Amino acid sequence: MGLANRIGAVALAVACAVLLLGVACRAGQTSEYRRLLGQAIDMPLDADVFRAPPGHNAPQQVHITQGDHEGTAMIIPWVTTVEPGSSTVLYGTSEDNLNYSAKGKHSQYTFYKYTSGYIHHCTIKKLKFDTKYYYAVGTEETLRKFWFRTPPKSGPDVPYTFGLIGDLGQSFDSNVTLAHYESNSEAQAVLFVGDLTYADNYPYHDNTRWDTWARFVERNLAYQPWIWTAGNHEIDFAPELGETKPFKPYSSRYHTPYKSSGSTAPYWYSIKRASAYIIVLASYSAYGKYTPQYKWLESEFPKVNRSETPWLIVLMHAPWYNSYNYHYMEGESMRVMYEPWFVKYKVDLVFAGHVHAYERTHRISNVAYNIINGLCSPIPDQSAPVYITIGDGGNQEGLATNMSEPQPSYSAFREASFGHAILDIKNRTHAYYAWHRNQDGAAVAADALWFTNRYWMPTDDSFNDA
């Protein structure tokens, strides 16, 4: 080979190497979209979405969540304000023949100078899979009727569509987020990653804001289960007001099926739904070694049967990987404790909130770091989950806009906009994911890609942009 040819061959090899390096180390994207920034303003208390239903002592704030581990039960809470009334739920598979009934209980709580209405909780059990049920709460004069559909029986190729919302609040932007989500009508349940009402942001932790928020979201929550994650705005720890019991308003109003998964507290638990196994963790409950949450999660991961529920999804509030200069590294101590398990058991996706913006990572892990070896940079890891921060529901605290620069290599896409996401599980190998910013039409996805399952098809899905 002549000198010119050898030089040409070397140049070609170098060019190919550079190209491959560029592909392997694909740079993350910071969206160029710029939302017109302004203060996220709360809706006025006389807004239509906060209006109580008509009638004396009419049930209000109706909402549902899964009531057991398998998906054959539903927890149905609601509030009456004048007197207890009935705690019974009538239900059936025909709107005109509610021939079953279940009796619940009611309770009240006080917070500073606030006394709640009568909070009813009723769990209806032994439901059939993939069946539409109608239900009614209240008395004859003010009977209110709703419906829901139970999930299909778990199986490896059972399709199911989840919505994803976090840090919602009750601002005008919150209303847009919920309306935008509702326009994506294919979703069947919501994975909610914490921070519901932001009542603790108001003077004296104004608990009437728990009531207004629940009336606001009833239009969706009475028909579609939301799977709850506790955020920092659910803590409501206020010793200056004489309130020293954390999570009092939240736990009084929003029950979870924690006992059915062997948990000892309602803030961490698991459920199965179609082909997904959902693990909910508590960022603001003790999670260190030998704590109840640690011991529960240690025993929980081995129970997951990926032949039945191939998609393993974790919900939490404080993100582990976050390149915004808000709540930076708040999830680090939990990451150190639990990330090796996430990699060992091949978690597919982790959803978090807390940071009021959107971000998606590549599949990376940082399990090698032991404080003295210097191996503190996240590395590509195809056994690791994708971490998605979706704390962009629209609350009055506004957007997180200050990003760390340069964008870290683990960050695939980020944008400071309000929105929601849809996770459409197709079968055991593929799920389509799309994040929708509020400013776009329902059919427009600002960030979308196909995920492949870590157990059944652990291919590199970093380049599966839709």
DSSP assignments along 143-160, one per residue: -EEEEEEPPPPP-TT--E
Q: Which two tokens stand for residue 152?
A: 């299909």
**Distance between CA atoms of residues 58 and 139, nearest Å:** 8
**Distance between CA atoms of residues 127 and 89, nearest Å:** 14
Query: What pLDDT, on the 0 to 100 scale, is given for residue 27?
Result: 58
107: number of Cβ within 10 Å: 13
Distance linking the first and last C-alpha atoms of the chain: 45
Mean pLDDT for all residues in the chain: 92
**Distance between CA atoms of residues 342 and 369, nearest Å:** 15
Average pLDDT on 2-18 reads 38
Among residues 147, 372, 356, the alpha carbon closest in space to that of 231 is found at 356
- The torsion region of residue 91 among left (phi > 0), alpha (psi -120 to 50) and beta comes to beta
Active-site residue 317, yes or no?
no
Strands (E), 83-150: 88-92, 100-103, 105-107, 110-111, 114-115, 118-124, 132-137, 144-149
Query: What pLDDT, on the 0 to 100 scale, is given for residue 370?
Result: 84
Selected catalytic residue, list 180, 327, 354, 436: 327
Answer for the pair 151, 130: CB distance below 8 angstroms, yes or no.
yes
Query: What pLDDT, on the 0 to 100 scale, is given for residue 34?
Result: 57
- For 69, 262, 294, 341, the CA distances from 299, given in Å and listed in that order, are 15, 10, 9, 11
- What is the reported pTM? 0.93
Domains delineated in the chain: 156-194+267-465 (3.60.21.10)
Query: What pLDDT, on the 0 to 100 scale, is given for residue 163?
Result: 98
Summarize pLDDT for 322-366 with one digit per residue, the tens.
999 888 889 999 999 999 999 999 999 999 999 999 999 999 999
Summarize pLDDT for 405-444 with one digit per residue, the tens.
999 999 999 999 999 999 999 999 999 999 999 998 878 9
Question: 18-27, 329-338, 395-404 — which is least confidently predicted?
Answer: 18-27
